[in-house]
Structure 1
């Protein structure tokens, strides 16, 4: 299995897991399942808080509809470990043993809650279920569909710590319509959400293999997924589904202004690039802040942001929280 890592921000800009620790650090399992009516005043207050004094008029996004009851955002900040259980190189989720990973994740969740007491942080396991490959495979799609038993394992681990689960898809030379419906039984669960990665979407790139150039998805393709998730929410009477999109260059998402928003959906545009702080901040400014969709995310790399960037440490929580708008989804790779 190829370890396809996220791209550099240079491309953009130019305790122990004991019962006590878990109960102290993790929000109730009912997060996202509490179907009390939406507190619209609190929603608006937190959206303004996340805008962080932005004076451009872009944030908070005025065209965004109020979400259905049970919405996770902006009432909680998601802190996710991303990766694959079969690879130590694809991210924090598979880097350590289960117990060490959970202990590290819960420690990060607590640190984020301490850094921003206005919005309580909750954990998530973000599992790459379809991975881009450096070989074409039998169907010449340059992606591997992993056994769904690993999703079952991820969901079981998440249940132990009351965490959310994200299924992430790298399509290679396949397409979203072929890959996303494979996970319908999981996406029909209230605690399972979706991420897609345009970096490894290679249609429209002249048949080049993943990892040789940065891929792209258009708003029209993203909207198909949004409509699909919206229909699942309606059909299964679910709380809003979180839909996360990776991005660290302009070309990764074309026509972002045309991405449709729904009360059944909460769209997070995640700044996915690695590099020194100034480059990461620049990527966030140009491709996340200045092209608003709805909510924002920020990825931190344990290795690439330090060893490969010549830095001693990753960006601090305080530095990330100073961004305009404040990211509501934090992902560790």
Structure 2
């Protein structure tokens, strides 16, 4: 909604590197040689003829086979083993552990922050005892920047040490971890492979932020205009995660897609779901409750994809008075459908 004013989330951050673009090479594929013909009557050996293997086509066959297998499991049980949604409600603290300005994750000292988080989790469990809560940390790992950098892409990735530290925090406190990507003037196709090594961990999931995706807007600095992603970008991300799930025999990944305007995500009807990836369309705007509810209705409820999310801002939702941060009970009774992913910034 155009009346939403977003504040800069720039800071020094982020970094993970991972994955390959799944339409590229498959490890172990390439050329191979058939064995020599075993003909004991032959008087001379016949040189083996090399057989060229189309690795891209082979990979497609593998993906299709895995996808069909996943579909068959879903038809029998409703979802793949280990799926988080819809059996749990994810409650996440968002930010960057190296920045006090990006969100509650990083704003307060670690132990103080986790004490607050424990209280929030109890509030949500009390508001809806019918579904268990799943604690999550949502760390912005590739962050849009206020300067272009050496390659002119206006984004920076967290160091390996930072990513490993926030992962250790998650494991210490029984949380899952989301690595969030603000691609700046780069692309998801270029940035997501940097994170693959971390996404092989079963507790690590992914978030993508169209607000800071500006590759189609030459010359625009992050935070000057709201960026955009298309269904094809979301589909690339889904396929990227689905491959990691299949190759590493993981439970389904959760993918959050931030959204608070219509143009942030184009052609949503073309998004193709895969049971190995659970997609959350996440209402990411701040403001007074009526405005937030209207945006949830307009951009999340009326343009459904799969699951839904809702963000609450400790600093911005309560300003100016008498506005307030919506309570768990308010969120659950005033939003349809009830969101299964809740994020605090």
TM-score (norm. length: structure 2) = 0.78
CA distance in 1, matches of 2:252, 2:276: 4
- Rounded Cα–Cα distance in structure 1 between residues aligned with 2:271 and 2:294: 22
Corresponding residue for residue 178 of structure 1: 190
The aligned runs of 1:44-59 (5 Å cut-off) are none
Q: Deviations over 1:50-106 (max 9, x none)?
A: xxxxxxxxxxxxxxxx43111000111111000011111100100100101111111
Q: Contact (CA 8 Å) 2:289, 2:323: kept in 1 or not?
A: no
Aligned pair partner of 2:216 in 181, 194, 204: 204
Number of aligned residue pairs: 279
Preserved contact between residue 9 and residue 280 of structure 1 (Cα < 8 Å): no
In the alignment, which of 286, 289, 293 is matched to residue 301 of structure 2?
289
Q: Deviations over 1:107-149 (max 9, x none)?
A: 1111101000111112101101111111111110011112121
CA positional deviation for 1:11: 6.2
> Which contiguous aligned blocks of 4+ residues in structure 1 show a shift greater than 6 angstroms?
38-41
Give the secondary structure class of the aligned counterpart of 1:195.
strand
Tell me how far apart the structure 2 counterparts of residues 310 and 249 of structure 1 sit (CA, whole Å).
25
Q: Which runs of 5+ in 2 are unaligned?
A: 7-72
Cα deviation 1:159-197 (Å, max 9, x = unaligned): 111100000000000000111111111101110000000
1:246-274, Cα deviation, whole Å (9 max, x unpaired): 00000000011111111101000000000
Correspondent of 2:145 among 120, 123, 133: 133
- Specify whether residues 148 and 9 from structure 1 end up closer, same or farther in structure 2 by C-alpha distance, changes over 3 A only: farther
CA distance in 1, matches of 2:118, 2:228: 33
Q: RMSD of the alignment, in Å?
A: 2.0
Distance 1:256 1:147 in 2: 33
Higher normalized contact order (CA 8 Å, seq sep 6+, divided by chain length):
1
8 Å CA contact retained: 1:131, 1:170: yes
Decide whether the 8 Å contact of 2:288 with 2:324 is kept in 1: no
Contact 1:68–1:263, Cα closer than 8 Å, also in 2:
yes
SS of the counterpart of 1:154? Answer: helix
Partner of 2:4: 10
- Report the CA distance shift for 1:282/1:184 in structure 2 as closer, same or farther (over 3 A): same
Give the aligned partner of residue 116 of structure 2: 104
1:139-218 equivalences under 5 Å are 139-218=151-230
Contact 2:2 2:261 (C-alpha < 8 Å) held by counterparts: no
Q: Output the CA distance in 2 between the equivalents of 1:275 and 1:311.
A: 12
Hey, what does 1:314 align to over in structure 2? 325
Q: Is the 8 A contact 1:84 1:127 kept in 2?
A: yes
The 3-state SS of whatever aligns with 2:254 is: strand
Larger Rg: 2
Structure 1 224/105 Cα, relative in aligned 2: closer, same or farther at 3 Å?
A: same
Give TM-score, length-normalised by structure 1.
0.80
